[in-house]
Amino acid sequence: MTLPPSAHKPVMLREVLQWLAPSPGSVLVDGTLGGGGHARALAEQVGPRGLVIGIDRDPHAIQAAQQRFSGLPILPIHGNFCDLPEILAQLQIAAVDGVLLDLGVSSDQLADPHRGFSFACDGPLDMRFDPLCGEPARRLVNKLSPERLADLIYRYGQERYSRQIARAIAQQRRRKPIETALELAEVVRSAVPSVRGRQRIDPATKTFQALRIAVNDELKSLQIALKRIPECMRSQARLVIISFHSLEDREVKQAFRTDHRLKLLTPRPITPSPEEIELNPRARSAKLRAAARA
User: Given pLDDT bands bounded at 50, 70 and 90, which one contains residue 265?
Assistant: very high
CB atoms within 10 A of CB 212: 22
User: Given pLDDT bands bounded at 50, 70 and 90, which one contains residue 203?
Assistant: very high
Q: What is the pLDDT of residue 72?
A: 96
User: Given pLDDT bands bounded at 50, 70 and 90, which one contains residue 209?
Assistant: very high
User: What is the Cα–Cα distance from 111 to 127, expressed in whole angstroms?
Assistant: 12
Print burial letters for 213-249: b (CB count within 10 Å at least 16), e (below 16): bbbbbbbebbbbbbeebbebbeeebbbbbbbbbeebb
3-state secondary structure of 291: strand
pLDDT digits (tens, 9 = 90+) for 152-169: 999 999 999 999 999 999
Mean pLDDT of the chain: 93
Task: Report whether pLDDT(248) > 70.
Answer: yes
User: What is the Cα–Cα distance from 78 to 56, expressed in whole angstroms?
Assistant: 5
**CA atoms 72, 27, 94, 31: torsion sign:** negative
User: Given pLDDT bands bounded at 50, 70 and 90, which one contains residue 1?
Assistant: very low
User: What is the Cα–Cα distance from 61 to 79, expressed in whole angstroms?
Assistant: 11
Edge to edge, what strands does the sheet with 233-243 contain? 74-78, 51-56, 27-30, 96-102, 233-243, 287-293, 262-264
Q: What is the pLDDT of residue 4?
A: 52
User: What is the Cα–Cα distance from 248 to 258, expressed in whole angstroms?
Assistant: 16
In this structure, what is the dihedral angle of CA atoms 44, 49, 55, 61, given to the nearest 10 degrees? 50
Strands 27-30 and 51-56: parallel
Average pLDDT over residues 245-270: 97
Which domains are delineated in the chain? 13-108+219-293 (3.40.50.150), 112-217 (1.10.150.170)
User: What is the Cα–Cα distance from 55 to 32, expressed in whole angstroms?
Assistant: 6
User: What is the Cα–Cα distance from 133 to 289, expressed in whole angstroms?
Assistant: 30
Ramachandran category for residue 127: left, alpha or beta (phi over 0 → left; psi -120 to 50 → alpha): left
Q: What is the pLDDT of residue 8?
A: 66
